[in-house]
Structure formats: C-alpha cells, structure tokens
Amino acid sequence: MTTTIAPDPYKRDFSTAFGAIRKLLANGHDTTQVFLIMRALNGPSLPKNFARLLSTPEGRRLVYLRTELAERLSDPACIVSFAPGTVGAVYRAFLEKTGYSAAELARISNLDGEPLVEDAYAWLRRRTRDIHDIWHVLTGYRADESLGEAALVAFSYAQTGGLGWAFIAVSAALKSLRVSGSLAFARAVLEGYRLGRRARWLLAEDYETLLHEPIDAARARLGIAEPTRYLACHPAEEWHA
C-alpha cells in the first residue's frame, strides 16, 4: 500500500514563489499572487511568532480568545462605532476610499476555497492577513500604488520575519531601480524595514482596543515613526490624522 505524504505547510516553496512574483510584478493588482507567495515562504515564521505570543500574558490571552478579526471588521456596526480621530475612524475612511473590505481580503486569501481551519497557526496566519490594512493606516503607507505596498511589506517583514514579505519588497525595489534608474523607491522601502524594526511588535496588539485609540497617540505608543523618505515621494500626503 502506497502512502501519500502531504507537503509540509511550514516549509518554503521557492518554485511557487518565483512563479507568483513574476505575475505580481506584471500586474500589481493581482492580489492572489501575494497570498501564493505568503503561503510559499512565510511558513517557518508562524511557529516562531506563535511561540512569541505565548511568551507574554497578553499574547496568551489573545491566543485563548482566538478572535477572528475578519468577522469583526466586516460588521458594519463595528465599523461605524469609531470616534473621529481614532485608528478605527481612519481605517473606516481607508475602506471607503479604497473599496476594500476585510471579508473580500479573506475571500481572496482562501486560495483553495477551504472551510475555516481550527488550527493555531492557521489562526495566526489569518490574523496577520486581517491586520494588514490596519497597518496601512498606522504607518501611513497608501494601498493604491506600488511604493506604499512595497514599503509596508518591508515593514511587515521586520515585524513578522516572514520571508514572503521581504521577497516582494526586494523584487519591487529592484524592478523600480531597473525601470527608473532612481534609488528613491528602494530607499523608501528600506526605510519601511527600519521603521518596522524600531516599532513595538504589532502582532501582539489587541486590535479591538487599538482601533478606538486616537491615531497619533497609538503611533507614539507603538513607536511608529513618520516615513520621511516615503513622504518625500508624495509631498502632498498628510501623515498625521
């Protein structure tokens, strides 16, 4: 009798990652490729980040609750509850401007159309996905152009150690250098990594509480500094809410 061994989801698959990055660089709106890269390369970071969560009382509380943030952030009553000037209010404006939603992001990320898996690492993967757009809000990196996404994925690599984030950031920076001959894009991406290194570990935050915090106070508390190199490329951008 032949036994088929399923692939280890926590090992890296560079073949899939390289195929996906070619498609992503050709079409930056092809979000499916992002999740293919994350699945292919981020696996080893999940056990490490989960163990880090368990190392603190607050992290253990979050693991115990195992809140599905996509469900909370897809509730209209939740979204309208945020007071002006809070992280949640800026997140609400972000959703209105971009047309994004937590539910749609969850749908796109479910590459195989599988039911929700009650697994600790799978929960952490979903949590990391669901807070991505909140990180856009906290950092000030826009989601509607390539530099904002590239800088945020560099920030995310510094925060999570997931190689997929670094793979996308470096690939985007190299493409920009090849096309434009300018280092401005790459420097803004590198700044994103450095800001992520300096900030507090955002995976351990209670986002249901954080969303009600004034955004400038939240950035100060979390050590998220102004992305000056990024803003130099977008002088009309306003960082403070």
Q: Would the CA dihedral through 50, 34, 67, 240 be positive or negative?
A: positive
Q: Would you state the pLDDT for residue 138?
A: 97
Averaged pLDDT of the chain: 90
CA dist 201 and 210 (Å) reads: 13
- DSSP bridge pairs for 214: 86
Indicate the pTM of the whole model. Answer: 0.91
Q: Would you state the pLDDT for residue 118?
A: 77
**Radius of gyration, CA atoms only, the chain:** 18
Q: What is the mean pLDDT of residues 29-35?
A: 87
pLDDT above 70: percentage of residues in the chain: 90
pLDDT above 90: percentage of residues in the chain: 67
- DSSP bridge pairs for 86: 214
Q: Would you state the pLDDT for residue 241?
A: 63
CA dist 46 and 51 (Å) reads: 9
Q: Which residue in 7, 126, 155 sits closest to 68, CA to CA?
A: 126
CA dist 28 and 73 (Å) reads: 25
Q: Sorting pLDDT into bands at 50, 70 and 90, what band is 1?
A: very low
Q: Would you state the pLDDT for residue 154?
A: 97
Can you tell me whether residue 74 is helix, strand or coil? coil
Quick: pLDDT tens for 102-133: 988 888 877 666 667 778 898 999 999 999 99
Quick: pLDDT tens for 39-95: 899 988 999 999 999 999 999 999 999 999 999 999 999 999 999 999 999 999 999
Q: Which two tokens stand for residue 66?
A: 């195992």
Domain ranges within the chain, ordered by starting residue: 14-233
Whether 6 shows a pLDDT value over 50: the answer reads no
Q: Which two tokens stand for residue 82?
A: 């945020």
Q: Would you state the pLDDT for residue 7?
A: 46
Return the number of other C-beta atoms located less than 10 Å from residue 155's C-beta: 29
Whether 204 shows a pLDDT value over 50: the answer reads yes
